[in-house]
Structure 1
Amino acid sequence: MPKTDDDIAKGFALGDESCLAAAYRRWGSLVYTVAARALGDVEEAKDVAQQVFIGAWRGRAGFEPAKGTLPAWLMGITRYKIADALEQRSRRRRDLEAVSAIEVGAERTENSVPTAILDQLVIRDCLAELTAAQRQVLELAFFDDLTQTQIAERTGLPLGTVKTHARRGLIALKRRLEEVDGAAQ
């Protein structure tokens, strides 16, 4: 079992799994804390911390103990993973706004009621074309008003998987609605 930070760093670079475990025990809470403060979401911070150590382990050939410390290298990876998480969050928000912008029934008038019913049928058809997982995640989000964390808890899926299904489902739904809207004009 490695004792010093230098022993951990050297073993980590050489692919010693006990050094990975030691690095996680020693610096995992630091990585998590930095991510949690930057993201403001504990579940997202857990995902980022996991991604940091997986990424560090896979990219360990790029770590040179003679050029810097392992914690500093891990913090560099953490900054990139936080930036990735924030970008994903921004993309999800843009996707939701884009789908929300497609109005089901702009103004309810006597003549628009049949149009609103038709729009609902089109949306149901579009939802039916999604994968089962994407449809389930979107239905839980929109109809049950659940957050992605709550959806992950309810379905037993990892939070990252829920986010991926939501994003891909929204993109597919948006494309399909745009096709339908384009064909109707």
Structure 2
Amino acid sequence: MSPQSSAVRPGPAAESLTDEELARGLVAGDEDCLAVVYHRWSAMVHGMARRSLGDAKEAEDVTQQVFLGVWRGRRGFRPERGAIGGWIVGITRRRIADALSDRTRRLHLLAAAGSSLALADRVARKSEPVLDRVLVLHELARLPAPQQRVLRLMYYEDLTQTQIARRTGWPLGTVKSHARRGLHQLRRRLQDDDQADGRADEQADHYT
């Protein structure tokens, strides 16, 4: 089931179903019911995400994740615990919390990698959080595999260095070394990117 298929306009008969009928059809795996659920609640979900995240693209991503979650988790819906609308609101709140947590991890990683005030100011002023994520993931992917693994476990799974040592089977000193070297290289590369952006801006100003 893809997000695009949930956006197909349902037929008039399906649109007239009650919430209870929709819930039964959804649990049974009826994609027409999913389409109705999407059209009936997607504006509410997107509005919640936009207000909480303040970013239209992230809100769109969360909306798609919510309805993928609705479809994949449909067998877990229990009508005796509440209406389907309330269930969708609960999923939406969890996806928003996940998005905010991901944003915090990205900022923590950037802050750890770039301690200079110039880089911190650049991150704070950036209007498109998705660009931050792409930048960090791109530079992270260039690191040696052990350093990548340690930093991903630290900042994307919130593990301590002791927990990482247990997870990987590496000595704690090795984990600390990989973390230190990885952050040093990531800091240097992000600062190089920042300086390159500054030079590009200066060149653009020269020709305007």
> Do both share a fold (TM > 0.5)?
yes
Q: Any stretches of 5+ residues in structure 2 without a counterpart?
A: 1-12, 152-176, 185-208
- Contact 1:92–1:167 (CA under 8 A) maintained in structure 2: no
Q: Is the 8 A contact 2:62 2:99 kept in 1?
A: yes
The structural deviation recorded for 1:166 is 4.9
The answer on 1:75 being equivalent to 2:89 is yes
Identity of aligned residues (%): 40
Which residue pairs with 2:137 in the alignment?
165
CA gap of 1:81–1:67, structure 2 versus 1, over 3 A, is same
Q: 1:51 to 1:102 in 2, by over 3 A?
A: same
Deviations 1:128-172 (A, max 9, x none): xxxxxxxxxxxxx99xx89454x5xxxxxxx98x48835854873
Q: How many residues align?
A: 133
> Counterpart amino acid of 1:50?
Q
> Taking structure 2 as the reference length, what is the TM-score of the superposition?
0.54
Corresponding residue for residue 33 of structure 1: 47
SS in structure 2 at match of 1:101: coil
What is the TM-score when the length of structure 1 is the normalising length?
A: 0.60
One-letter identity of the residue aligned with 1:178: R
* Structure 1 residue matching 2:81: 3-state secondary structure: coil
Q: Distance in 2 between matches of 1:167 and 1:18?
A: 42
The residue identity in structure 2 corresponding to 1:70 is I
Counterpart of 1:178?
A: 180
Counterpart secondary structure, 2:79 = coil
Other-structure match for 1:50: 64
- Corresponding position: 1:91 with 2:91: no
Equivalent runs, 1:133-144 vs 2, <5 Å: none
Shift of 1:88: 0.3
Q: Do the aligned residues in 2 keep the contact of 1:13 with 1:65 (CA within 8 Å)? A: no
Contact 1:95 1:167 in 2 (8 A): no
- AA aligned opposite 1:59: G
Over 6 Å off, 4+ runs: 173-177
TM-aligned CA distance change 1:98 to 1:78, over 3 Å: same
RMSD: 3.5
Q: Is the contact made by 1:148 and 1:163 (CA closer than 8 Å) also made in structure 2?
A: no
* Structure 1: 5+ residue stretches without partners: 104-140, 152-158
User: What letter is aligned with 1:90?
Assistant: T
Letter in 2 for 1:17: E
Question: How far off its partner does 1:61 sit?
Answer: 0.7
DSSP-derived class of the 2:78 partner: coil
Give 2:168's aligned residue.
none
